[in-house]
């Protein structure tokens, strides 16, 4: 079974995000980048599937040094090899351009039985790149996956999806497929010292837009379907009203306000 | 033309459809564009009749036995046919597990923009600027779509108020025949309710949620007592679930449920961003916490900065008394 797991480098969640001067993104020069959290669950799932069914786990990431960094961590976790989509032309891609670039790389690598990605990234966070990737590749797909059973002999998958309102759904789909993996599906492993040492000998190849046969108008900013007009911190419309007094007085005042002012009870 | 792709299950429209229609009505008024609701299904004339009463111009109904259950392959194929004939300006879909299952495929298939998770929009000249959330709702991003229409947008749940949906229309109902040639690759095996005791918090009008401030499992009973007095559902923040005071199903937040009730009580919840993204669109938020610096107060409408072990029982008593009288 050949699995490709996609990893997006995002600013470390602990970092303080500051909007850049042109107000089109955050200042990301000095930030530390890590794998987007959901992508760790995806890679862990890929490694578990390989352990059960044998095969090959490749990891795929787009970006500069930050992508190389998350790929090295992924190799240390246990991935067999890594593909780094490295080209200044890739910068400024939206979900659409990113998905098209990733799809071309997967095709160049000979396709896959299974492509995994996190359900959504920690930066753009819309959860659309994985589904777009499936359409570019012409693969079946399932989103918000909380359980995977693969049958490599029959080339089918049975996956459980998490829907709204506490509903779970089981679906069957054929190889090749893209799955977007939900947070909490497993407990991602940490890289062992042995893993970190072994990672140094693993293959990490870099492909540019030209390697993928992608023309300049399809990648990065020119390939994006929308332009960013402004990034801003939304003003919270509500300003909290602190209700004072003893616990009993405050409780009574609050109930009065909920009934007369907010009219919610 | 503005299209809304409706979402329904068990012959009932989902509330996100009303929210998407509100979004469409507002854009429609600003841009002078008529609104069309699209219903895909097997026996959905009842839903079309319900939509007809809203202030929209048209309801397109595409019925086919293959559309009895949602299928991404079938939805994409049906919508490509319908959109190809109609050439709308904007197509609005709910930002739900269903909407985000087919809208990205449609966007790629037609090579047209999709702006997902929209919370607002503005009109700049003739241009539509769509605002979406980024960085776990810490920031917003205004985007300008490129190229020709149709443009796709998904409406973030809770961003548009369903009760602002205007009625009083007499929309024309148009039946469209759809035929399918592609395969149905993904097949539904079963759909089940998650473990018992699970409350559908996404539909609960009032939620009382407790956090780490309750200190230990047994203390959670004061949250249940307040919820009972209010006829509310109970929720929890992640630390409560991680400490196994309550099962995972109660969790509100980015890795739990996203809720948008009319009234949300945050009891002893400090308000980590992962929690806030799951509840900040609630209509009225009450925070009860000893720490005035807690981030929950940034999204709350009313706050009581005091010992929750005194405030919560006092509230429970008042609501109990109100019920009796």
Q: Which of B124, B159, B175 is the last residue of a domain?
A: B175
Query: Which helix (H) or strand (E) element contains residue B37?
Result: strand B35-41
Write out chain A residues lying below 8 Å of B10, CB-based: none
| Residue A158 distance to chain B (closest CA, Å) | 9
In 10 A of CB B84, how many CB atoms? 10
Place B87 in a pLDDT band, splitting at 50, 70 and 90.
confident
Write out chain A residues lying below 8 Å of B104, CB-based: 95, 128-129, 131-132, 135
pLDDT number for residue B217 = 94
A203 and A79, same structural domain?
yes
Contact of A162 with chain B, judged by CB distance below 8 Å, is answered with yes
B137 and B79, same structural domain?
yes
Q: Does pLDDT of B298 surpass 90?
A: no
Strands B2-5 and B35-41: parallel
Task: Say which of A140, A228, A255 has its CB closest to residue B315.
Answer: A255
A264 and A205, same structural domain?
no
Contact of B8 with chain A, judged by CB distance below 8 Å, is answered with no
Whether B271 is covered by a domain: the verdict is: yes
Contact of B110 with chain A, judged by CB distance below 8 Å, is answered with no
What is the C-alpha separation between B274 and B253, in angstroms, rounded?
Answer: 5
Whether A256 is covered by a domain: the verdict is: yes
3-state helix, strand, coil in chain A (%, to 5): 35, 30, 35
| Partner-chain contact A226 B286, CB within 8 Å | no
ipTM for the predicted complex comes to 0.90
pLDDT number for residue A90 = 98
Whether A131 is covered by a domain: the verdict is: yes
Task: Say which of A162, A173, A225 has its CB closest to residue B186.
Answer: A173
Place B104 in a pLDDT band, splitting at 50, 70 and 90.
very high
Which tokens in the block code for residue B184? Answer: 């149905």
* Domain harbouring B54, CATH code: 3.40.50.620
User: Is A211 exposed, middle or buried, given 0-12, 13-18 or 19+ CB atoms closer than 10 A?
Assistant: middle
Q: What are B9-68's pLDDT values in tens digits?
A: 999 999 899 999 999 999 999 999 999 999 999 999 999 999 999 999 999 999 999 999
Q: Does pLDDT of B198 surpass 60?
A: no
* Domain harbouring B320, CATH code: 3.40.50.1220
Q: Which residue has the higher pLDDT, B197 or B69?
A: B69
pLDDT number for residue B200 = 72
pLDDT number for residue B195 = 59
Task: Say which of A134, A226, A254 has its CB closest to residue B115.
Answer: A226
Structural domain boundaries, residue A175: 2-223
Q: What are B264-273's pLDDT values in tens digits?
A: 999 999 888 7
pLDDT number for residue A238 = 57
What is the C-alpha separation between A152 and A174, in angstroms, rounded?
Answer: 10
List all residues 6 or more positions away from A92 whose beta carbon is below 8 Å from its beta carbon: A220, A221, A224
Q: Which of B159, B175, B191 is the last residue of a domain?
A: B175
| Partner-chain contact A238 B300, CB within 8 Å | yes
Q: Which residue has the higher pLDDT, B222 or B280?
A: B222
A165 and A138, same structural domain?
yes
Region B73-97: mean pLDDT is 95
Per-window interface: A 230-259 vs B, CB < 8 A = 230-234, 236, 238, 240-243, 247-248, 250-252, 254-255, 257-258
B138 and B48, same structural domain?
yes
Contact (Cβ atoms closer than 8 angstroms) between residue A79 and residue A57:
yes
Whether B219 is covered by a domain: the verdict is: yes
Place B205 in a pLDDT band, splitting at 50, 70 and 90.
very high
User: Is A51 exposed, middle or buried, given 0-12, 13-18 or 19+ CB atoms closer than 10 A?
Assistant: exposed
| Partner-chain contact B194 A228, CB within 8 Å | no
B234 and B107, same structural domain?
no
Write out chain A residues lying below 8 Å of B254, CB-based: 183
pLDDT number for residue A237 = 58
| Partner-chain contact B101 A131, CB within 8 Å | yes
Question: Percentage of residues in chain B with pLDDT exceeding 90?
Answer: 76
CA angle B41, B43, B46 (to 5 degrees): 105
| Residue A168 distance to chain B (closest CA, Å) | 5
Task: Say which of A124, A142, A229 has its CB closest to residue B144.
Answer: A229
Q: What are A228-246's pLDDT values in tens digits?
A: 999 998 876 557 999 999 9
Whether A228 is covered by a domain: the verdict is: no
B55 and B152, same structural domain?
yes
Write out chain B residues lying below 8 Å of A173, CB-based: 185-187
Whether A229 is covered by a domain: the verdict is: no
| Partner-chain contact B146 A126, CB within 8 Å | no
Measured between alpha carbons, how far is residue A65 from residues A40, A71, A198, A205 in Å? 18, 10, 20, 13
Q: Does pLDDT of B196 surpass 50?
A: no
Q: Nearest-CA neighbor of B131 among B144, B142, B122?
A: B142
Which tokens in the block code for residue A162? Answer: 């998490």
* Spacing of C-alpha A161 from chain mean position: 17
Per-window interface: B 196-255 vs A, CB < 8 A = 198-203, 206, 230, 248-249, 254-255
Q: Could you give the residue ranges of the DSSP H alpha helices within B32-112?
A: 45-52, 72-86, 99-110
| Partner-chain contact A226 B113, CB within 8 Å | yes
Cβ-Cβ contacts under 8 Å between A and B: the total is 232
Whether B237 is covered by a domain: the verdict is: yes
A124 and A192, same structural domain?
yes
Tell me phi and psi for residue B293, to 5 degrees: -80, -10
pLDDT number for residue B257 = 85
Measured between alpha carbons, how far is residue B323 from residues A251, B311, B317, B320 in Å? 16, 19, 10, 5
Place B291 in a pLDDT band, splitting at 50, 70 and 90.
confident
Per-window interface: A 166-225 vs B, CB < 8 A = 166-174, 183-184, 224-225
Q: Please report the beta strands in chain A, taking only residues with DSSP state E, as ranges in sequence order.
A: 2-6, 9-11, 33-35, 56-62, 81-85, 114-118, 140-151, 156-162, 167-174, 177-181, 203-207, 226-232, 241-242
pLDDT in tens, chain A (265 residues): 999 999 999 999 778 889 999 999 999 888 999 999 999 999 999 999 999 999 999 999 999 999 999 999 999 999 999 999 999 999 999 999 999 999 999 999 999 999 999 999 989 998 999 999 999 999 999 999 999 999 999 999 999 998 876 688 999 999 999 999 998 788 899 999 999 999 999 999 999 999 999 999 999 999 999 999 999 988 765 579 999 999 999 999 999 999 999 999 8
B78 and B227, same structural domain?
no
- Work out how many domains chain B is built from and give that number: 2
* Domain harbouring A17, CATH code: 3.40.50.620
Region B207-214: mean pLDDT is 96
Whether B183 is covered by a domain: the verdict is: no
Structural domain boundaries, residue B246: 201-324
Cα atoms found within 13 Å of the Cα of residue B325, Cβ hemisphere only: 5
Q: Does pLDDT of B243 surpass 90?
A: no
| Residue B171 distance to chain A (closest CA, Å) | 30
- Work out how many domains chain A is built from and give that number: 2
Contact (Cβ atoms closer than 8 angstroms) between residue A177 and residue A140:
yes
């Amino acid at each position: 079974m050949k699995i490709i797991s996609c990893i997006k480098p995002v600013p470390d969640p602990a970092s303080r995000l500051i909007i850049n001067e042109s107000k089109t993104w955050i200042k990301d020069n000095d930030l530390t980048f890590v794998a987007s959290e959901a992508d760790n669950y995806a890679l862990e799932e890929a490694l578990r599937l390989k352990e059960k069914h044998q095969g090959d786990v490749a990891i795929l990431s787009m970006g500069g040094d930050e992508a190389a960094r998350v790929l090295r961590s992924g190799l240390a976790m246990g991935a067999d090899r890594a593909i780094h989509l490295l080209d200044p032309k890739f910068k400024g891609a939206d979900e659409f351009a990113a998905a098209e670039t990733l799809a071309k790389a997967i095709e160049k690598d000979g396709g896959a039985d299974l492509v995994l990605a996190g359900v959504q990234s920690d930066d753009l966070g819309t959860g659309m790149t994985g589904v777009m990737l499936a359409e570019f590749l012409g693969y079946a797909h399932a989103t918000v996956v909380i359980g995977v059973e693969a049958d490599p002999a029959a080339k089918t998958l049975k996956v459980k999806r998490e829907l709204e309102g506490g509903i779970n759904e089981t679906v069957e789909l054929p190889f090749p497929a893209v799955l977007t993996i939900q947070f909490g599906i497993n407990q991602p492993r940490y890289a062992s010292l042995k893993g970190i040492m072994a990672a140094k000998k693993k293959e990490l190849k870099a492909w540019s837009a030209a390697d993928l046969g992608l023309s300049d108008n399809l990648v990065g900013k020119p390939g994006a379907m929308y332009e960013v007009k402004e990034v801003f911190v939304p003003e919270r419309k509500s300003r909290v009203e602190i209700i004072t007094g003893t616990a009993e007085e405050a409780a009574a005042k609050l109930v009065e306000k909920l009934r007369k002012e907010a009219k919610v009870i | 033309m503005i299209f809304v792709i409706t979402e329904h299950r068990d012959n009932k429209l989902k509330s996100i459809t009303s929210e998407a229609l509100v979004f469409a009505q507002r854009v429609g008024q600003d841009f002078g564009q008529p609104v069309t609701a699209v219903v895909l299904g097997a026996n959905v004339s009842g839903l079309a009749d319900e939509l007809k009463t809203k202030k929209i111009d048209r309801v397109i109904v595409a019925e086919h036995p293959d559309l009895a259950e949602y299928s991404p392959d079938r939805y994409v194929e049906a919508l490509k046919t319908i959109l190809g004939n109609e050439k709308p300006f904007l197509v609005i879909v709910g930002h739900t597990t269903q909407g985000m299952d087919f809208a990205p495929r449609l966007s790629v298939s037609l090579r047209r923009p999709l702006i997902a998770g929209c919370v607002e929009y503005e009109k700049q000249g003739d241009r539509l600027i769509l605002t979406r959330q980024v960085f776990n709702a810490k920031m917003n991003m205004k985007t300008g779509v490129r190229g020709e229409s149709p443009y796709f947008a998904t409406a973030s749940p809770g961003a548009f108020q369903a009760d602002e949906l205007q009625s009083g229309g007499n929309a024309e109902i148009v039946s469209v025949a759809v035929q399918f040639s592609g395969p149905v690759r993904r097949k539904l095996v079963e759909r089940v309710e998650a473990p018992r005791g699970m409350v559908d918090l996404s539909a609960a009008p009032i939620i009382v949620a407790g956090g780490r401030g309750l200190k230990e499992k047994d203390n959670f009973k004061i949250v249940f007592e307040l919820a009972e007095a209010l006829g509310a559902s109970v929720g929890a923040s992640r630390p409560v679930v991680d400490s196994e005071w309550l099962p995972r199903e109660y969790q509100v937040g980015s890795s739990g449920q996203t809720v948008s009730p009319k009234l949300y009580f945050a009891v002893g919840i400090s308000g980590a961003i992962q929690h806030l993204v799951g509840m900040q669109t609630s209509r009225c938020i009450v925070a009860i916490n000893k720490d005035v610096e807690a981030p929950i107060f940034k999204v709350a409408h009313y706050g009581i900065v005091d010992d929750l072990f005194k405030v919560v029982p006092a509230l429970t008593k008042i609501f109990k008394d109100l019920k009796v009288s």
